[in-house]
Structure 1
Amino acid sequence: MFTIEIDSELKLALIERSFAHKYFEIVSKEEKYLSQWLAWPSHAKSEDFFLRFVSKSLLDYAEGKAMTCGIIYQDELVGNISFNSINHNLKMAEIGYWLRESYQGKGIITRSVSKFINIAFSDLNLEKIQISAGENNIPSRKVCERLGMKLEGVISNCENLNGRIINHAVYGLSKE
């Protein structure tokens, strides 16, 4: 398993097939919670959904278009973080993430995003990071603000989130 250690209790691991079962288990238990800000949990009705996700994620990684990692906290897979897209022409990437509800408030996402920002600027030689969060997703917006990201704007009617039209707050951080 290819892993990146963040600290003694937290590491990121490049997504692999063995994660599919645990992802399905998490989403089966936490679909309602995760569906507050993610459109896909209601479609994740089998482990096969996640096996397809893993295959697509690994293909995108091999092609340099994305990078998806499991978040492992105290040796347990608790969430996911990714460069949803990497645009080498624009030297920018968009970060996305999700975390089990019971692991919120431990700094897991802030530390994981901070590591991804470091990877983007140091290893991938990118110049900008972007995160789009639901306008009312205050915890996600606070992560961006804690990491020094700037609110670049709010895009109205940006996503149909399980029948609810939401706006996105778009945050950016430049390498400079």
Structure 2
Amino acid sequence: MFLYKIDNDLSLKLIDLTDTAKVFELTNQSRGYLREWLPWLDSTTMIQDTQNFISGCLKGYSENRNLTTVILYNGEIVGTAGFNQMNWSNKTAQIGYWLSEAYQGKGIMTRVAKALTDYAFRELKLNKVEIRAAAENNKSRAIPERLGFMNEGCIRQAEWLYDHFVDHIVYGMLAHEWNH
């Protein structure tokens, strides 16, 4: 099992089926908040939806295509983060994340994104890490900016978000640039 300790109060654990109820509960608690930027909230209405998501994550992990973790803050699951896509031929990974509304503003996601980036370069020997965020999602965009990722441009109308398209800003960090 994958377990990555970031610091005294924060770690990442490979998501598994025993996390289903807690992840679904967190999703429900933050549904309105998360729905502003995440397109999957309306299709996650029953605990079975979360179980299916986790099963898919575990399959992707076993096939070395992704890594989805739960974020543990003082032992409590507060969100998810990981590599949504891993491209081994190009040595790249894309980080994705969401955090319960109650845990915003504590620096958790910046520490998580920093740890994932560090893991990608030091342990997985990847060459590039990307983070993509909706152009108007300033909180999410602030994370790669704080970590020194380069704004590599805008993908226009990259995602359908319920009733409209949103542009994505792509941030990238290369292994030789990472000095954290």
- Fold match (TM-score > 0.5): yes
Distance 1:2 1:121 in 2: 17
What displacement does 1:2 show?
3.7
AA aligned opposite 1:36: E
3-state secondary structure, aligned to 1:131: strand
Distance 2:166 2:38 in 1: 11
TM-score (norm 2): 0.95
Distance 1:87 1:163 in 2: 31
AA aligned opposite 1:22: K
Distance 2:29 2:75 in 1: 20
What is residue 125 of structure 1 aligned with on the other side? 125
| Residues 47-126 of structure 1 mapped to structure 2, 5 A cutoff | 47-126=47-126
3-state secondary structure, aligned to 2:140: helix
Q: Which runs of 5+ in 2 are unaligned?
A: none
Listed one character per residue, the Cα deviations across residues 5-45 of structure 1 (whole Å, up to 9, x for unaligned) are: 11111111101111110111111122111011100011111
Equivalent residues, number: 176
Instruction: Could you list the structure 1 runs, at least 4 aligned residues long, displaced by more than 6 angstroms after superposition.
Output: none
C-alpha RMSD of the superposition: 0.9
What displacement does 1:127 show?
0.1
Distance 1:25 1:57 in 2: 18
Q: Which runs of 5+ in 1 are unaligned?
A: none
What displacement does 1:161 show?
0.6
What is residue 7 of structure 2 aligned with on the other side? 7
Distance 2:7 2:171 in 1: 26
Distance 1:111 1:29 in 2: 23
Identity, in percent, stands at 39
3-state secondary structure, aligned to 2:155: strand
TM-score (norm 1): 0.97
